[in-house]
A and B are shown apart, each in its own frame.
Chain A
Amino acid sequence: MAVLNEASVKSKANLIDARGPRFSAVITTLVLAAALVTQSAALIAIQLAVFAIGAFAGPAKTPYAFLFKKFVKPRLKGEVITEDARPPQFAQSVGLIFAVVALAGSLLSIPVLFTVAVGFALFAAFLNAAFNFCLGCEIYLLGLRAVK
């Protein structure tokens, strides 16, 4: 939580294009779905790296955000809706934790740990992509209430 709080202070009032994290969630969903079906540690390692960049440097710094800026954003019309970078950054941090657990499951040959951790990450990423689900809205306050 300390890391999350530090990150939140650093990126305060940092507004980004809200469509970027949504696009990233679509790619994340596809990668996690492929990893779940193929039980691929390599795919999870790649996604772990992306989550780590998103969690520490910010959601606008990931390779997926780069793809969005380079190929998707120029083709989008309409008003740019901005959002605070902190909510998607929080979601990336939670994704990172699940990716670490999944990779540990793979390295320790505990396939059920891999499957459950990737399953949770996919659940959240898909909800974000398809329903604009806000993970921070639902779990951050509950977490705070539990620890403080």
Chain B
Amino acid sequence: MKSLTPLVVVLALAIAFGVWYTRSRGEFRRKKTVNGPKLDASVIGVELGSRVTMVQFSSAFCSPCRATKALLEDMVKTMPDVRYAHIDAESHLELVRQLDIRSTPTTLFLNAAGVEVGRAMGTPKRSQVLAAVNAIH
């Protein structure tokens, strides 16, 4: 059954998925209702920021995790009311399940109370992080 059909089908699906994937990575998705669990220093390892805390989940088999960590660590240097926490997803599977983290890197944006306001999957652009942080009061 030599045929071009399987190749065309696979490439069409892959292109459609790839376009969606590229567009959706890094995008800040705001939660409709801010009703998640309250996270604090005992869970995320650092004290909450006075306005926003960014909590990044990473894993070993993840290239963009390194770039995301470097970007967010750099950005919080100039934002005194924003803090950054980095969590290895593999060694925190209970938390991963509780917060429904499905891929890495996933960055949660917590408000001052430690509740998730929204999240970004993949490496966000600097402008996307700024917009997300500025939208949280």
B90 near A83: Cβ-Cβ < 8 Å: no
Interface of chain B, main secondary structure: helix
Given known contacts A141-B89, A142-B103, A126 and B10 CB-to-CB distance under 8 angstroms: yes
Interface of chain A, main secondary structure: helix
A37 near B4: Cβ-Cβ < 8 Å: yes
How many B residues are at the interface, by size bracket?
35 or more
Please tell me if B14 contacts chain A, counting CB pairs below 8 Å: yes
Least Cβ distance of B17 to chain A in Å?
A: 7
B62 near A140: Cβ-Cβ < 8 Å: yes
Closest to A112 in B: B1
Query: A87 CA to B9 CA in the complex, in Å?
Result: 27
A123 near B103: Cβ-Cβ < 8 Å: no
B2 near A141: Cβ-Cβ < 8 Å: no
How many A residues are at the interface, by size bracket?
35 or more
Closest to A35 in B: B7
Partner of B105, one of A36, A130, A137: A137
Residues of B contacting A83 in the complex (Cβ-Cβ under 8 angstroms) = 63, 66
B residues sitting closer than 8 Å to A (CB atoms) are: 1-4, 6-7, 9-11, 13-15, 17-18, 21-22, 59-66, 89-90, 93, 96-97, 101-105, 122
A-B residue pairs in contact (CB < 8 Å), sample of 10:
A36-B6, A122-B14, A123-B10, A126-B10, A126-B18, A127-B18, A130-B18, A142-B103, A145-B96, A145-B97
